Amino acid sequence: MKEKSTLYIVIPCYNEEAVLPETNPMFLGELHELMEKGLVSEDSRIMYVNDGSKDRTWELIEEYSKNPHIVGISQSRNRGHQSTVLAGMMEAKESADIIITIDCDGQDDINCMNDMVQAYQNGAEVVYGVRKKRTTDTFFKRFTAEGFYHVMEKLGVEIIFNHADYRLMSKKALDAMAEFTEVNLFLRGLVPLVGFNYAIVEYDRFERIAGESHYPLKKMLGLAFDGITSLSIKPIRLITSLGILTSLVSFLFIIWSLVSHFIGNTVSGWSSTVTIVAFIGGIQLVSIGIIGEYIGKIYLETKHRPRYIIDKRTSDED
């Protein structure tokens, strides 16, 4: 059993002025409950991380930070959900023994934090929050989301099925995470690479309390593609296999054409030619596009740009 630890609840925020007034009391109540039970120390905090919001999100965070158990940091511009979560993790680890990352929309069951902290006290360095089921999702979202996890597993990516970004990490795990310097972030795939003992806490997910989702289909597809190309080279190997298979088929077609020519069974026409050219051309364009994605990521990684830049801290104004 580990001694009482300092917990930071890291909450990324982007244009959340509609939902924060509803969820802030919930997070604060859960933190006080954990402290009253003696599971975490009185130095524990909620850390809101503003991702360049264009509404009153930062003003609300500043207001809430008058409470000694709430702090806030703000990025210099919008950098995306994954960079915002990472910023909170790296900033919080300087003061915390453990951190829990959770979205601010109220969909993830905050009552699971109790089980997460207890799992940490029992020896887990990482605790993953995993959805029991997806009954609140539409059929399309459920089908595509679960299909994504299966595809990632087939491509050799270590990933926890139905886990998003609701997790607990110890300072030991965070220090190891800091050694990963990728600019292209997919935390669901990076955290399992850290290793160490881990546990899983299952929970039911709820409807968003207020406001609109900031992860439409386009962003979800972008995150999925980033995850695949950042953590697996199997797509390139699949291109190689497809190229070999196409070459074999083309070679057989050449043999068939020569045989047909010598037995005098050829008929001039353009349909078959156009079909074959279009087929080969399509494969080439898709292959070049996938390879281009990898080259683009190499280009971004070689620049070593900062993954986040903190512009404001509520503590700076206290």
Report the alpha-carbon distance of residue 125 to residue 99 in Å, rounded: 11
Least confident interval from 40-44, 168-172, 223-227 = 223-227
Residue in this structure with the two tokens 């360095």, named with its chain if needed: 125
Residue 251 is predicted with a pLDDT of: 64
**Domain residue ranges in the chain:** 7-231+305-317
CATH class of 7-231+305-317: alpha beta
Interval 225-254: pLDDT, tens: 666 666 666 676 676 667 667 666 666 666
Q: Is the pLDDT of residue 196 over 50?
A: yes
The mean pLDDT of 158-177, rounded to a whole number, is 86
Q: Which two tokens stand for residue 182?
A: 């990728």
The whole-number pLDDT of residue 139 equals 63
State the average pLDDT over residues 9-25: 91
What kind and span of H or E run contains 173? helix 171-177
- Rounded Cα–Cα distance for residues 50 and 28 (Å): 18
Sheet of strand 126-131: strand arrangement: 198-203, 126-131, 163-170, 98-101, 7-13, 45-50, 70-75, 310-313
Of 121-130, 132-141, 194-203, the range with the lowest mean pLDDT is 132-141
Question: Where residue 4 falls among pLDDT bands split at 50, 70, 90?
Answer: confident
What does the mean pLDDT of the chain come to? 78
List the beta strands (DSSP E) in 107-261: 126-131, 163-170, 198-203
DSSP SS3 for 61: helix
Distance in Å from the first CA to the final CA of the chain: 36
Going by pLDDT thresholds of 50, 70 and 90, the confidence category of residue 318 is very low
Q: Can you give the pTM of this predicted structure? A: 0.71
Residue 47 has pLDDT above 80, yes or no: yes
Q: Render pLDDT for 68-83 as a digit per residue (tens, 0 to 9).
A: 999 999 998 888 888 8
3-class SS at 56?
A: coil
Mean pLDDT, residues 145-159 taken together? 69
Specify the pLDDT at position 231.
61
Give the per-residue pLDDT at 44.
92
**Residue 234 half-sphere exposure, CB side, CA atoms within 13 Å?**
12
What sign does the CA torsion over 89, 95, 98, 100 have? negative
pLDDT at 281 over 50: yes
CA distance 124 to 132: 20
Average pLDDT for residues 163-174, to the nearest whole number? 89
